[in-house]
Each structure stands twice: as C-alpha cells, then as structure tokens.
Amino acid sequence: MSRKQPVIIDTLGKLLDDGYQFNLWCLDCSRGGISPIEPFVKKLGRDHPIYVRGHAKCGRKNVEVRIQAPAGGVRPVQG
C-alpha cells in the first residue's frame, strides 16, 4: 500500500503574515487551544512548508491541528 503524500497548503511565514494561528486538539483527552505560528516560524523558518507534528499539554501525540483563520475584520482584503 502506498503512503499518502502530504499536501503543502502554504508556508509558515505566509500564514503568519496573514494573521492565522494553529488550533490544536488532543483526540485522547479532548483538550485543545490556540497556538500562535510565530514560535514555529522562529524555529523552522518562514519558508518552511506546513508539516506540523507535536503534542498536546497532556503530553500525548494524538493531536489534530487545524489552521485558525484571523478574526473578522482583521483578514486582509483579497482580489
């Protein structure tokens, strides 16, 4: 069986510039929270594609990561 290839959504720097954050959710203990992207940019660089691996505050690694859109009114105008 072949492995699925990851899809690059964007770079960390672009998401940071546009005001996005990560929404982390532990599937084992059902705890979650918002995590800023800036620490990931400092560690991995602005041009790093999004391959997020990490753990929740509970220490488990069964974590779902979603990209949290900027708050209404903060989003840059497109088009």
On whether residue 6 sits in a domain, the answer given is no
On whether residue 35 sits in a domain, the answer given is yes
10 Å Cβ neighbour count for 46?
A: 13
Nearest to 25 by CA among 67, 71, 79: 67
Considering its fold, how many domains does the chain have in total?
1
Structural domain range at position 57? 12-68
On whether residue 74 sits in a domain, the answer given is no
pTM of the model: 0.61
Residue 47: which CATH number?
2.20.28
On whether residue 63 sits in a domain, the answer given is yes
Nearest to 46 by CA among 21, 74, 71, 14: 14
On whether residue 1 sits in a domain, the answer given is no
On whether residue 5 sits in a domain, the answer given is no
Reported as a single tens digit per residue, the pLDDT across 12-71 is 898 889 888 888 888 888 888 888 889 888 998 898 876 555 545 566 667 778 888 887
pLDDT band at 79 (very low <50, low <70, confident <90, very high): very low
